[in-house]
């Protein structure tokens, strides 16, 4: 258990409690500070306080930060393809078939298991069971994923994702021929009414979702696409492409199963190709890329009579 005490001076008067703590506790995320306040671990003048409490000169603020909850997830010596790493963050090129974090049925062999082994001090970040993870990729989606290695980095990356300052570019192979070379799919996405594992555009509780696309190449029976998701909803690209009648090849959940005339792929042909972000400590822009994985490359190379419509 760690304890912190602050005597409020005139310069900090009238600030909200949660904002003040976010400013002075740079190694703790705002969301975690909110949890501490809700749990009664933050007091003002010896009394539990609300996040919106306006501080006054001479107030005394005390914060209790419990030790991180013990992780049931164990480090595992799993090989990972590291694209970039420093003291603040690590970027992994995730292979298809790897689950990002443990869940029922996937207690081991996940990216988190691998990260806990590779980054020895990762377990305590945020006091949570998904250390360092600020976004995710579906099990069978390959490509770039970033993880924070410090609380300060976690806070910065979480904010960048929330404010949509992190830009992602995906590559995909979709069924059929798209009528337009470029376009934007702007349709809300929510949980499917009856299928708990699916998301849907046919829901009254959907949240804003927007995906821009560019056709790279038109092939026999399918299309090679570059996609720019503005939002980050669950299964967003998969659902959006399916909603316009062009599901991703190999995507069994959203209708992308392959016909006898199409080349075969064992998973959805979706790859997180590029990641653009601001380094949480240096403030410098970063752009990282992952090449098209072998299974998608093979599928492209085997396609007969391509009709190139380059759009680069």
CATH for 31: 3.10.290.10
The answer to the question of residue 74 being in a domain is no
The answer to the question of residue 143 being in a domain is yes
CA distance 170 to 269: 10
Name the DSSP letter for residue 22.
H
CA distance 34 to 48: 13
* Residue, of 264 and 153, whose pLDDT is higher: 153
CB 275 within 8 A of CB 84: no
Residues 24 and 90 in one domain: no
Band of pLDDT at residue 260, cut at 50, 70 and 90: low
Mean pLDDT of 13-42: 85
Q: How many domains does the chain have?
A: 3
Residues 158 and 230 in one domain: no
What is this structure's pTM?
Answer: 0.74
Residues 127 and 95 in one domain: yes
Q: Is the pLDDT of residue 311 over 50?
A: no
User: Which domain range does residue 20 map to?
Assistant: 2-65
Q: Hey, what's the torsion of the CAs at 9, 11, 17, 23, to 10 degrees?
A: -110
Residues 198 and 284 in one domain: yes
**3 state SS of 53:** coil
CA distance 184 to 227: 9
- 138 carries an active-site annotation: yes
What is the Rg, in whole angstroms, of the alpha carbon atoms belonging to the chain?
23
Residues 144 and 254 in one domain: no
Mean pLDDT of 246-268: 84
Q: Is the pLDDT of residue 193 over 90?
A: no
End-to-end Cα separation, the chain, in angstroms: 54
The answer to the question of residue 73 being in a domain is no
Q: Of 18, 59, 138, 251, which is the active-site residue? A: 138
Q: Is the pLDDT of residue 191 over 60?
A: yes
Q: Is the pLDDT of residue 127 over 60?
A: no
Band of pLDDT at residue 308, cut at 50, 70 and 90: very low
**CB-facing half-sphere around the CA of 307: CA atoms within 13 A:** 11
- The rounded percent of the chain whose pLDDT value lies above 70 is 88
Per-residue model confidence as pLDDT tens digits over 31-78: 888 989 999 999 999 999 999 999 999 999 999 988 766 557 788 999
């Amino acid at each position: 258990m760690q304890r912190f005490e602050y005597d409020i001076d005139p310069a900090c008067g009238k600030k909200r409690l949660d904002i003040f703590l976010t400013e002075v506790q740079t190694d703790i995320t705002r969301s975690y500070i909110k949890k501490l306040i809700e749990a009664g671990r933050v007091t003002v003048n010896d009394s539990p306080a609300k996040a919106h409490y306006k501080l006054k000169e001479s107030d005394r603020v005390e914060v209790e930060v419990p030790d991180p909850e013990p992780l049931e997830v164990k480090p595992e010596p799993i090989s990972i393809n590291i694209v970039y790493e420093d003291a603040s963050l690590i970027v992994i090129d995730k292979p298809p078939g790897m689950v990002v974090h443990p869940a029922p049925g996937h207690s081991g062999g996940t990216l988190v298991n691998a990260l806990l082994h590779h980054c020895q001090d990762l377990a305590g970040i945020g006091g949570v069971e998904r250390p360092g993870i600020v976004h995710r990729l579906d099990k069978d989606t390959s490509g770039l994923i970033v993880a924070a290695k410090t609380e300060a980095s976690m806070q910065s990356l979480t904010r960048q994702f929330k404010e949509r300052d992190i830009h992602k570019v995906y590559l995909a192979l979709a069924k059929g021929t798209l009528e337009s070379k470029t376009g934007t799919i702007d349709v809300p996405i929510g949980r499917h009414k009856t299928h708990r594992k699916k998301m849907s555009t046919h829901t009254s509780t959907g949240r804003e979702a927007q995906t821009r696309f560019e056709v790279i190449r038109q092939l026999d029976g399918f299309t090679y696409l570059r996609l720019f998701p503005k939002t980050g909803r669950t299964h967003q690209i998969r659902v959006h492409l399916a909603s316009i009648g062009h599901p991703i090849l190999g995507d069994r959940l959203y209708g992308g199963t392959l016909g006898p005339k199409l080349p075969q792929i064992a998973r959805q042909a979706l790859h997180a190709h590029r990641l653009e972000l601001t380094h949480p400590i240096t403030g410098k822009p970063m752009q990282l890329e992952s090449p098209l994985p072998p299974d998608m490359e093979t599928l492209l190379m085997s396609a007969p009579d391509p009709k190139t419509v380059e759009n680069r």
